[in-house]
Amino acid sequence: MATVRVLPSGVEYTASSGETLMGAAQARGLYWPTTCGGQAICTTCLCEVTEDSGVLAEMSRSERKTLVAERGEAILKRPLRLACQATVTAEGTLVVTKNGVRSANEP
């Protein structure tokens, strides 16, 4: 299991190997902003990886393609990932920045 901390809200949750950041958050009762519902065709779930102790898998070709198509080639120079595609592969701690992540029960 990996521990995921989301800034600036301070929300923290665990994610198992094979889960995406967004999928794990939703499975644990959290709301993660998305427009396409996790189909990797928008970039609403985009988050900045602040700290990764080797928890995430490498970016897939489809994730890279969506990022470039929606945000331009320069986006790849920053530590940004689509939360619906970024998959946990190892134990450790991950810190990401994403506004709007909260309990699904909050307004």
At 24 the pLDDT is: 98
State the first-to-last Cα distance of the chain, in angstroms, to the nearest integer: 29
Separation CA 57–CA 74 (nearest Å): 21
Q: Which CATH number applies to 2-101? A: 3.10.20.30
Mean of pLDDT values over 39-57: 94
Q: What is the mean pLDDT of residues 16-40?
A: 96
Question: What is the average pLDDT across 6-30?
Answer: 97
Report the distance separating Cα 74 and Cα 16, nearest Å.
31
In this prediction, residue 35 carries a pLDDT of 94
Per-residue pLDDT at 60 exceeds 80: yes
